[in-house]
Amino acid sequence: MFDYKAKPFHLTEEEVKWVEDTYEGMSLEEKIGQLFCPIVFTKDENELRELVQTKHIGGMLYREGPGEELRQAHKVLQDAAKIPLLTASNLEYGGNGSAIEGTYFGREMLVAATQDTEKAYQLGKVSCSEGAAVGVNWSFAPVVDLDQNYRNPITNVRTFGDDLQTVINMGKAYIKAAQEEGVATSVKHFPGDGVDERDQHLLTSVNYLSCEEWDKTYGKIYEEMIEAGTLTVMAAHIAMPAYEEYFDKKPCKKIIPATLSKNLMKHLLREKLGFNGLITTDATPMVGFCSAEERAKAVPLCIENGCDVILFNRNMDEDMQYMFDGYKNGLLSEARLEEAVKRILATKAAMKLPQKKAEGTLVPGPEALDILKCEKHDTWAKECADEGVTLVKDTQNLLPLNPEKQKRVLLEIMGDFPSNERVTAYFKGKLEAEGFEVTVYEKEGFEVMEDTVESFKSRYDLVLYLANIETASNKTVSRLNWHTMFGLGNNMPWMVHELPVAFVSVGNPYHLLDAPMVKTYINGYCNSEYVMDAVVDKMMGRSEFKGTSPIDPFCGKIDLKF
């Protein structure tokens, strides 16, 4: 079925025996349960024990939470589980992907802007060591997509950019660090996001590349990640018509997400690329999965067609029943059930989870939490921000700022995310500490028509935009939205010839597309305090800008450069 002793498992004879013996001793309910990795919300110990003892789940994921709370919950789960669990987290940007008090190291694009592969290694080291401190052993990272489409609202700063070799080098560095921390990686999102401008959370998006184009880009990336030894790959709800046609030898007449495609899972990922490890779906409540097939069929078919783990549920009881029904009616074959479960067990064996369970070390003690935002990780994150923040343009020679010349600042916050309050308060405080008088923009009504250009100029010395527009699922675009009435509001940058205007993005790096008239533009790539500190230091001239853009911030348009 697959090779236990080959990459990425490298199992010993004893570990192979554990897999085989464990499988032979499992009931059908236990086998079906292993296929599921739900999101778990409860911290109630009785509910957690019941979950693993009655559902027999193979893995689970908690959203971000307090470190000790997560550590204790993971311990209850692992102690109660007959077979040790894969405990997952989205460790894309630091330890705070799991424990909220962990280190916010930085988005992948910030890391790429440093042009230093060591920073990607540090990202993996911080993320996985801090995740492991609360009991996480499976990282849904690194993202190895190419950000080829500036309109895509979800890849964006989550990627290492659009350069093939940069993505390869940094992805491999993250994997190396994760392996050192005993955390399995799940590289994503196969067959590759960032080509389509649409988000697979909201529909089945499409990788439109030809087979030849894909082989030279995404195919090369996945070859390198497989060679680096990633234990798992995450299949996306992304279609790839070119390879469907190649394997079927006829025109593609239906858009099929990779999660349901035997061509992409079995023929492309398994056979052509030679991946021997575990394949998990991306989250199956996403519309890209749900809209592709009737769910009663889609749930068993995603396993039958090549995935080994189904990630998250609309309703766990219902999805499990769909899997049982699919097995009973032949949608899920005995052979594929056996292969999937044994790959899950082999992954756990490769991670030494049975051995750790026997030793009682699957979840560390509370002393492990000392690593969260420790001094070394804090230093690394500061260095990454310092080396990554990028000056895209300053064609008006505005920088450095001077509180004597630009005393009165109108601070315009762009975005409507939960983090806005934190970002606004922190950045405003930093500017005021430098000696600026900061007024935070407030939306006007039609009374703005009574204002004049000269009056506006008399009130401010600098207009500073701070865009906090994060990548987030269910956002169809990641663009600037202005508060204005027929262009009259002071939120729009109409005043670029009246006053100095500067723009700082701590999210989407492509905002010049909507604000090409702005002459001073800085990309910070993420809204961590480390980045905001570095931005202010550089705007004040105390530190030089060192970052190099990992993407084209001018979106291929000449007017954005001036």
Question: Which residues form the catalytic set?
Answer: 282
Helix, strand, coil distribution of the chain in percent, nearest 5:
45, 15, 45
Which uninterrupted H or E stretch holds 500? Answer: none
Bond prior to 201 in cis (omega within 30° of 0): no
Q: How many CB atoms lie within 10 A of CB 457?
A: 12
Number of H helices, E strands in the chain: 20, 16
Would you list the DSSP string of 501-538?
A: EEEEESS-TTGGGT-TT-SEEEE--S--HHHHHHHHHH
**The two three-digit tokens of residue 273, written as one number:** 């690329």
DSSP, collapsed to helix, strand or coil, labels residue 67 as: helix
Which phi and psi angles does 338 have, rounded to 5°? -65, -45
**AA letter at 43:** K
> Using CB atoms within 10 A of its CB, is residue 380 exposed (0-12), middle (13-18) or buried (19+)?
buried
**AA letter at 445:** G
| Residues 6+ away with beta carbon under 8 Å from 27 | none
Cα–Cα distances (Å) from 315 to 44, 258, 322, 500, 509, in that order, read 19, 22, 10, 54, 37
- 270/209 Cα distance (integer angstroms): 20
**AA letter at 492:** M
Q: Name the E strands within 227-270.
A: 232-235, 238-239
